[in-house]
Amino acid sequence: MKVQIPPSAKTIMERLTKAGYRCYLVGGCVRDQLLKRPVHDYDMTTDALPDVLLDLFQEYPLVTSGSKHGTIGIVIAKEVIEVTTHRKESAYLDHRHPHVLTFTDSLQEDLSRRDFTINAMAYDQAGILYDPYHGLEDLKKKQIVCVGDPDQRFQEDALRIMRAIRFSMQLGFVIEEKTAAALKKNVPLLKHVAKERLRDEFHLMLESNSENLLGQLEAYGVLTVLFPLLASMKGFQQDNPWHPYDLLTHTDIALSHSKNAPLIVKLALCFHDCGKLFTRTYDDRQIAHYHGHAAKSAELADAILKAYRYPTKMRKDILLLITYHDYYMQPKDVFLRRFLSKLDNRYPLAFAILQVQYADDCAKNPALAKDKLDIIRFCRKRLEEMQKEPAIHLHDLAINGHDIAALGYQGKAIGEIKKELLDHVIAHPDANQRDTLIAYLKEKEERHE
């Protein structure tokens, strides 16, 4: 089967071959080309040592941060090609990193240390595919299979547990029976993996748009390790006419309606209802209600996002989406302008909130949710139109703090009056004139007196 070699990789292959070394495309770029999927990064492996690579390609910009692991990045035509010397590894002492890493001149030894057969294929300049572990056959069977003993592979590096599930979701493959059994057995080893690495793999799973994503993680026992709170939602019946599904299933269905949405939308959907576990009450008809669950969900999610070291801005945006996921939208311009004002006129956030709400309502009783879905569609369309109009901010008011102070207001009261005036102008845009706003405040005082 033909694999395309990009010009930058050909340049590297030709120079190494001329110098008496062997060089191959390896791993994901070979796999994805065989699957006719887009290739984003090209990795290569060679029997040339790192010092040789530094010498042979000294006229190119080089990335040497991975040199102690045998990897040199060669920048050709603004493209970084990572070239790694064939490696073999000793025992893994921490379930993540090899105790000793040594170089070898054997391609097969190098491929033998890789995680899955579909990632253990190499392709040379002559067009020969090296596939000692039958990765091509597993591509055809659409299955994820470990190279060698799966139990050993997962014990060596526990992150492979996440990678196996992620590849399964991205490619639509099944995890082969023995590999799946070893995966489940070794799930507790995930505690040895850094939170950031677990987080990044989870992001790739979310971006795969796989159906029943949380259910799959729960079935493998991984959800209990990653997010015990979400795992506890399984079987939690919502006992409400709006909700025919248990809490975990509802969340999974909502996620399935967020295909290609921004990552913050998907993450908000994961945690948007976790507060229901702690806010359920029943009325006299034994119908459950969840007053304040959005705020509780945001509180719980905040602790989880901090534990996984999310950047502050991203974390705050996710929490805002959770807080507003149950905010009842109204198809009125005045309401939408006030809604935008609460978000400091950040249209991307407003659209993200509507995406969360839409996905959430798609996971409810269809007969009851229909009207809400229609309102969300209308609001989204109207916001798209409003985006072309100038937004109104506090600094756009035709009256300033000195004007307000001249009317007898002091200190914090001036800020509160500004917010009140902004709300008034949002509802009545034509009122944003200095004399009109001063008259509005004087009339307000007269009414008060």
pLDDT at 163: 98
Q: How far apart are CA 400 and CA 409, in angstroms?
A: 12
Q: How far apart are CA 364 and CA 113, in angstroms?
A: 47
pLDDT at 328: 93
Model confidence band, residue 449 (pLDDT cutoffs 50, 70, 90) = low
Checking if the pLDDT of 91 tops 70, the result is no
246-270: average pLDDT: 97
Model confidence band, residue 92 (pLDDT cutoffs 50, 70, 90) = low
Checking if the pLDDT of 393 tops 80, the result is no
pLDDT at 388: 78
Give strand pairing partners of 72. 83
pLDDT at 207: 97
pLDDT at 398: 85
Checking if the pLDDT of 411 tops 90, the result is no
Cα 65 from chain centroid (whole Å) = 26
Residue 429 backbone dihedrals phi, psi, to 5 degrees: -55, -30
CATH class as words, domain 7-141: alpha beta
Checking if the pLDDT of 62 tops 70, the result is yes
Alpha-carbon Rg for the chain in angstroms: 29
192-219: average pLDDT: 97
Q: How far apart are CA 231 and CA 242, in angstroms?
A: 22
Model pTM score:
0.87
pLDDT at 162: 98
pLDDT at 93: 63
Model confidence band, residue 368 (pLDDT cutoffs 50, 70, 90) = very high
Model confidence band, residue 117 (pLDDT cutoffs 50, 70, 90) = very high
Model confidence band, residue 94 (pLDDT cutoffs 50, 70, 90) = low
42-46: average pLDDT: 95
**Highest mean pLDDT range out of 98-102, 103-107, 411-415, 436-440?**
103-107
Model confidence band, residue 381 (pLDDT cutoffs 50, 70, 90) = very high
Calculate the alpha carbon distances from 348 to 98, 270, 272, 352, 386 in Å: 44, 19, 19, 6, 13
Reading phi first (left if > 0) and then psi (alpha if -120 to 50, else beta), residue 70 is in: left
User: CA quadruple 19, 20, 25, 26: dihedral positive or negative?
Assistant: negative
Within 211-349, strands assigned E span 281-282, 288-289
Exposure string for 146-183, b = 16+ CB within 10 A, e = fewer: bbeebbebbbbbbbbbbbbbbbbbebebebbeebbebb
* Between 264 and 405, the higher pLDDT residue: 264
Model confidence band, residue 97 (pLDDT cutoffs 50, 70, 90) = low
How does pLDDT run across 309-360, given as a tens digit for each residue? 999 999 999 999 999 999 999 999 889 988 988 898 899 999 999 999 999 9
Model confidence band, residue 107 (pLDDT cutoffs 50, 70, 90) = very high
Checking if the pLDDT of 95 tops 70, the result is no
Interaxial angle between packed helices 412-427 and 434-448, expressed in degrees from 0 to 180 and rounded to the nearest 10: 110
427-447: average pLDDT: 80
221-249: average pLDDT: 97
Checking if the pLDDT of 105 tops 70, the result is yes
Q: How do the domains of the chain map onto residue ranges?
A: 7-141, 394-448
- How much of the chain, in percent, has pLDDT values that exceed 70? 96
298-312: average pLDDT: 98
pLDDT at 427: 78
- How much of the chain, in percent, has pLDDT values that exceed 90? 76
Calculate the alpha carbon distances from 60 to 19, 42, 54, 219 in Å: 17, 17, 9, 48
